[in-house]
Amino acid sequence: MSDVKKVVLAYSGGLDTSVILKWLQDVYQCEVVTFTADIGQGEELEPAREKAKKFGVKEIYIDDLREEFVRDFVFPMFRANTVYEGEYLLGTSIARPLIAKRLIEIANETNADAISHGATGKGNDQVRFELGAYALNSNIKIIAPWREWDLLSREKLLAYAEKNGIPVEMKHKQGGSPYSMDANLLHISYEGRHLENPAAEAEEDMWRWTVSPERAPDEAEYLEIEYRHGDPISLNGKTLKPHEILAELNRLGGKHGIGRLDLVENRYVGMKSRGCYETPGGTILLKAHRAIESITLDREVAHLKDDLMPRYASMIYNGYWWSPERVTLQTLIDQTQQTVNGWVRLKLYKGNVIVTGRDSKTDSLFDPTIATFEDDAGAYDHRDAGGFIKLNALRMRIAANLRNKK
């Protein structure tokens, strides 16, 4: 008999977590609490409630976390201009610490002994969920069915579902398995099927959010984003909530074929993995944020941020959002953003995000009287450059003198 009496399951209502729900009841003989997070995946979530009810679940949580997701996770990440391995905007990675946080909160609210998730033993998500959970509750028990059961294929999962009367969408029953997909307000990801061959081009009908650049409008579209303390606060003059800004940027970016990515990445568990991503709004935000920083950040501060960013990106990708080092680094990043105020104008055209203007009335470090190519009326003394260059060349001049003596 298991000592687990109640477990909180991260539950989507799809095949994997529906099987897990019944498996937990059968194997652990425990009460299951289901938690479904609305983080902007764009799917109807009420069917998950009905499926859970069918299997006797009494405590069902379906939480709208869209605003918290963008405000407290996506925007702080974008303050650092975060990109993993030069390309990936971390759409899946940044959602996991929020889900882990809510799992622990619900476990506390319901007096549950354990939490459970549907991440496989090959992927990054098991690490992200569990590192986050342990950081927030060191004594929590975690049940990862993919590391315990023998249902290690789609066919075995389907057979278990059929045997136990678990409803399965027809797309799973016909034509083989679909892509493994994960969606939220920041992105949608695709893995599996022929994407497992990194030489194969992704099928055009796979993409859900973006048109191909070839089919994007022939006319460019302009937009303007206003920033306060490093976060966007309005779009085209209209003040919006964080998740509303990202949703609208997703719409605009998708319309213009922006944000597609085909990537072979290095998973934390050690293997390489090929995935395709759509991140239209995030692609626009990255370009815009760098643009407003270009006139409001001191040079050395900006370069320091760029130096630290790859390490910060790895912390998020590898599941260390709740670690003391990420929190410490976030404090530094947020301090740099106090002067990142102003607006950026961008042009969207056939897969491209083009900066066409930026300004800050209060915090711009761009001084046209010094930067001008015209007569600056003595604002900059050109003679100062000579000594500056000689001092910076001193070590190289000494080395040159030594070489010449040999």
pLDDT at 177: 41
Checking if the pLDDT of 151 tops 80, the result is yes
Which numeric CATH code is attached to 6-178? 3.40.50.620
Q: Each residue of 370-397: b (16+ CB within 10 Å) or e?
A: eeeeeeeeeeeeeeeeeeeeeeeeeeee
Label residue 174 by pLDDT band (50, 70, 90). very low
pLDDT at 371: 94
Within 15-112, where are the H helices? 15-27, 46-54, 66-69, 75-78, 96-110
pLDDT at 365: 98
Q: Which of 96, 102, 260, 326 is catalytic?
A: 96
Query: Is 277 labelled a binding residue?
Result: yes
Active site residue 102: no
Distance CA 227, CA 235 (A): 10
Instruction: Please give the angle made by the CA atoms of 218, 219 and 225, to the nearest 5 degrees.
Output: 130
Label residue 44 by pLDDT band (50, 70, 90). confident
Checking if the pLDDT of 348 tops 50, the result is yes
190: phi then psi, degrees, rounded to nearest 5: -135, 130
SS3 34: strand
Label residue 169 by pLDDT band (50, 70, 90). low
Query: Is 160 labelled a binding residue?
Result: no
pLDDT at 373: 94
Active site residue 274: no
Q: Each residue of 222-236: b (16+ CB within 10 Å) or e?
A: ebbbbbeebbbeebe
Q: Which of 102, 116, 125, 182 is catalytic?
A: 125
Label residue 342 by pLDDT band (50, 70, 90). very high
Among the listed residues 354, 69, 313, the one whose alpha carbon sits nearest the alpha carbon of residue 220:
354
Instruction: Please give the angle made by the CA atoms of 31, 20 and 273, to the nearest 5 degrees.
Output: 145
Label residue 173 by pLDDT band (50, 70, 90). very low
Label residue 1 by pLDDT band (50, 70, 90). very low
Checking if the pLDDT of 272 tops 60, the result is yes
* Whole-number average pLDDT of the chain: 95
Distance CA 247, CA 360 (A): 25
pLDDT digits (tens, 9 = 90+) for 190-239: 998 889 999 999 999 999 999 999 999 999 999 999 999 999 999 999 99
Query: Is 88 labelled a binding residue?
Result: yes
In percent, the amount of the chain with pLDDT more than 90 equals 91
pLDDT at 340: 98
Rounded mean pLDDT, 323-336: 98
Top pLDDT among 280 and 46 is at 280
Query: Is 177 labelled a binding residue?
Result: no
Among the listed residues 316, 329, 281, 308, the one whose alpha carbon sits nearest the alpha carbon of residue 93:
316
Provide the residue ranges of all domains of the chain, joining segments of one domain with +.
6-178, 183-359
- Provide the sign of the torsion angle of the four alpha carbons 389, 394, 396, 402, taken in this order: positive
Top pLDDT among 376 and 226 is at 226
Among the listed residues 20, 41, 22, 16, the one whose alpha carbon sits nearest the alpha carbon of residue 178:
16
Which numeric CATH code is attached to 183-359? 3.90.1260.10
Among the listed residues 191, 162, 3, the one whose alpha carbon sits nearest the alpha carbon of residue 88:
191
Q: Decide the pairing of beta strands 238-239 and 231-235.
A: antiparallel
Active site residue 323: no
pLDDT at 167: 84
Q: Please state which of the ranges 177-191, 211-225, 264-278 shows the lowest mean pLDDT.
A: 177-191
pLDDT at 118: 95
Query: Is 14 labelled a binding residue?
Result: yes
Query: Is 13 labelled a binding residue?
Result: yes
pTM beyond cutoff 0.85: yes
Q: Each residue of 240-265: b (16+ CB within 10 Å) or e?
A: eebbbbbbbbbebbbbbbbbbbebeb
Query: Is 134 labelled a binding residue?
Result: no
Query: Is 239 labelled a binding residue?
Result: no
Q: Which of 177, 180, 323, 364 is catalytic?
A: 180
Query: Is 399 labelled a binding residue?
Result: no
pLDDT at 43: 86
Query: Is 240 labelled a binding residue?
Result: no
Q: Each residue of 299-329: b (16+ CB within 10 Å) or e?
A: eeebeebeeebeebbbbbbbbbbbeeebeeb
pLDDT at 178: 59
Query: Is 42 labelled a binding residue?
Result: no
- Provide the sign of the torsion angle of the four alpha carbons 356, 360, 364, 369, taken in this order: positive
Q: Which of 16, 113, 182, 231 is catalytic?
A: 16
Strands (E), 209-315: 221-228, 231-235, 238-239, 260-266, 272-278
Distance CA 325, CA 331 (A): 10
Measured CA distances, 328 to 101, 314, 320, 335 (Å): 19, 15, 12, 11
- Provide the sign of the torsion angle of the four alpha carbons 85, 184, 144, 147, taken in this order: negative
Checking if the pLDDT of 171 tops 50, the result is no
pLDDT digits (tens, 9 = 90+) for 60-113: 999 999 999 999 999 999 999 999 999 999 999 999 999 999 999 999 999 999
Rounded mean pLDDT, 361-390: 95
Contact 115, 10 (CB under 8 A): yes
Active site residue 96: yes
pLDDT digits (tens, 9 = 90+) for 118-137: 999 999 999 999 999 999 99
